[in-house]
């Protein structure tokens, strides 16, 4: 069974950058589409970006384009989320998740379609 572990969160000043990592184990990464999500206090979990680990296709939700970059290293079984120009409203617990469903239209992905979740890493953007 696939296991996911996020890391790289922490406290960062507004305008700063962080790179989050998602380490996968227990299965072959290329079988999955990996998504990054976040959940701020009192808010619903929202999607950020997805990557098809077999062909590298990526998808970003409109509001996340430009400041977030998803990437993968299949040899290391790792997926990353590079975050730049961070704002206080980016403060949240960030999760990676995996879906066995390979969709040609990546805009269809949503939290309910993910099969495996990590426990999250906290990102706090504050001065």
Let me know: does 82 contact 17? Beta carbons within 8 Å.
Answer: yes
Average pLDDT over residues 50-76: 92
Calpha distance 103→89 (Å, rounded): 30
Question: What is the reported pLDDT for 62?
Answer: 80
Q: Is the dihedral of CA 34, 17, 14, 125 positive or negative?
A: positive
> Does residue 123 or residue 101 have the better pLDDT?
123
Question: What is the reported pLDDT for 63?
Answer: 78
| Per-residue pLDDT at 10 exceeds 80 | yes
Question: What is the reported pLDDT for 64?
Answer: 77
Provide the pLDDT confidence category of residue 94 given band limits of 50, 70 and 90: very high
């Amino acid at each position: 069974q696939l296991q996911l572990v996020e890391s790289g969160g922490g406290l960062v000043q507004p305008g700063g950058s962080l790179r989050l990592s998602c380490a996968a184990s227990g299965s072959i990464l290329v079988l999955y589409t990996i998504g990054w999500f976040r959940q701020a206090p009192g808010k619903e979990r929202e999607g950020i970006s997805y990557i098809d680990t077999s062909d590298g296709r990526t998808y970003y939700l409109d509001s996340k384009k430009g400041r977030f970059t998803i990437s993968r290293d299949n040899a290391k079984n790792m997926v990353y989320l590079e975050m730049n120009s961070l704002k206080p409203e980016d403060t949240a617990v960030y999760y990676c998740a995996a879906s066995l469903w390979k969709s040609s239209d990546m805009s269809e992905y949503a939290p309910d379609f993910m099969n495996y979740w990590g426990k999250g890493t906290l990102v706090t953007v504050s001065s």
